[in-house]
Amino acid sequence: MRLRVRPFAWHTRLALLLALASPALAADIQFDPAASVAFPSLQVPVGVRATGMGEAYTAVGDDVYALHWNPAGLSGLRGYQLGLSENDWNPALGQQQSLLTYGQGLGVSMAAAVSVDYFSLGTFEQRDAGGNLLGQVPGSVTEGSIGFGGPFFIRGLRAGLSGEYVQESLFGATQSGYGGGLGLLYDILPGLSAGAALNHLGAGMAGFSLPSTAQGGLALRLPDRRLILALDYEDPFNGPSALKAGAEEDLGLIILRAGYRQDLGGPDSNDESGLSAGLGIRYGHFRLDYSYTPYGALSTVQRFEATVELPQGFFESKVVYLEGTSETAQSYFKQAQAFEAKGDILKALVQYQRCLDNYPSSLKASPQPFYVTSANKVTQLQASLTKSGDHAQIHALTLETMAAAEKEMKAGHFRDAINRLQQAKKLDPLDAGLDAALKADQGSYQAKVSGFRDAAQFAAKENDLDMSVDNYRKLLDISPDDDEAQGYLTKHRAALKTQLQSIERRGSYFYIEGKLEEAIKAWSDGEALDYFNDVDFKRDLDKARKQQQLLQQEGPTPTP
DSSP state letters, 362-411: GGTTS--HHHHHHHHHHHHHHHHHHHTTTHHHHHHHHHHHHHHHHHHHHT
Q: Which of residues 200 and 3 earns the better pLDDT score? A: 200
Query: Percent of the chain scored above 70 by pLDDT?
Result: 75
Model's pTM, two decimal places?
A: 0.55
Distance CA 35, CA 58 (A): 24
Q: What band does 31 get if pLDDT is binned at 50, 70 and 90?
A: very low
pLDDT band at 389 (very low <50, low <70, confident <90, very high): low
| pLDDT attached to residue 1 | 29
- 189 vs 417, more confident: 189
Q: pLDDT, tens digit, for every residue of 115-149?
A: 999 988 777 666 666 777 777 777 888 899 999 99
Pairwise pLDDT comparison (71 vs 489), residue with the higher score: 71
For residue 238, CA distances in Å to 58, 83, 163, 271 come to 19, 30, 20, 18
Flag whether pLDDT at 492 surpasses 70.
Answer: yes
Under the banding of pLDDT at 50, 70 and 90, the label for residue 217 is: very high
Instruction: Report pLDDT for 76.
Output: 82
Beta bridge partners of 154: none
- What local confidence, expressed as pLDDT, does residue 494 receive? 85
* Beta-ladder partners of 141: 119, 168
Domain range list for the chain: 3-123+134-316
**81 pairs with which residues across the strands?**
103, 309
For residue 425, is pLDDT > 70? no
Q: Please count the other Cβ atoms lying within 10 Å of the Cβ belonging to residue 76.
A: 23
Residue 29 pLDDT grade (very low, low, confident, very high; cuts 50, 70, 90) = very low
Non-local (6+) Cβ contacts of 549 within 8 A are none
Residue 17 has pLDDT above 60, yes or no: no
**Distance separating alpha carbons of residues 290 and 281, to the nearest angstrom:** 9
- Angle of helix 369-387 relative to helix 345-358, nearest 10 degrees, comes to 140
Give the pLDDT confidence score for residue 103 in this predicted structure. Answer: 93
pLDDT on residue 391? 53
Say what the alpha-carbon torsion angle 36, 41, 47, 48 is, to the nearest 10 degrees: 120
Q: Which residue has the higher pLDDT, 7 or 174?
A: 174
Torsion of CA 430, 431, 432, 433, to 10 degrees: -170
The pLDDT of residue 287 is 92
What pLDDT score does 59 carry? 93
- In tens, the pLDDT along 357-378 reads 778 877 888 888 898 898 888 8
The pLDDT, as a whole number, for residue 267 is 58
Question: Rounded to 5 degrees, what are φ and ψ at 463?
Answer: 60, 30
Q: Indicate whether 243 pLDDT > 80.
A: yes
Write the Ramachandran bin of 36: left for phi over 0, alpha for psi from -120 to 50, otherwise beta. beta
Say which CATH architecture domain 3-123+134-316 belongs to: Beta Barrel (2.40)
* 3-class SS of residue 147: strand
CA distance 535 to 531: 10
Residue 145: predicted pLDDT: 94
The pLDDT assigned to 386 comes to 63
Distance separating alpha carbons of residues 336 and 345, to the nearest angstrom = 9
For the chain, percent of residues with pLDDT exceeding 90: 21
Residues 6+ apart with CB under 8 A from 86: 96, 97, 98, 303, 304, 305
* Cα–Cα nearest to 55, from 99, 46, 116: 46
Q: How confident is the model at residue 216 (pLDDT cuts 50, 70, 90)?
A: very high
Q: Do the beta carbons of residue 541 and residue 519 sit within 8 Å?
A: no
| 215 vs 235: CA distance, rounded Å | 6
More confident residue, 21 or 440: 440
Q: Are 406 and 418 in contact (CB under 8 A)?
A: no
Taking 50 as the threshold, does the pLDDT of residue 5 lie above it? Answer: no
Residue 257's pLDDT is 96
Burial (CB < 10 A; 0-12, 13-18, 19+), residue 526, is buried
Beta strands in 317-376 (DSSP E): none
Backbone φ and ψ of 172, nearest 5°? 80, -5
pLDDT band at 546 (very low <50, low <70, confident <90, very high): confident
Mean pLDDT, range 16-40, rounded to an integer: 48
Q: What is the pLDDT of residue 320?
A: 37
Mean pLDDT of all residues in 87-114: 82
User: Taking all residues of the chain, what is their mean pLDDT, rounded to a whole number?
Assistant: 78
Q: Is the pLDDT of residue 413 over 80?
A: no
pLDDT score at 314 = 62
Q: Which of 271-280, 334-343, 401-410, 541-550 has the lowest mean pLDDT?
A: 401-410
Strands 29-31 and 242-250 turn out to be unpaired
Which pLDDT value is given to residue 279? 95
Task: Give the DSSP H/E element, type plus range, for residue 117.
Answer: strand 110-127
Q: Which residue has the higher pLDDT, 32 or 36?
A: 36
Specify the amino acid at residue 274. G
The predicted pLDDT at position 28 comes to: 41
pLDDT value at 435 more than 70: no
Confidence of residue 318 (pLDDT cuts 50, 70, 90): very low
The model's confidence at residue 16, banded by pLDDT at 50, 70 and 90, is very low
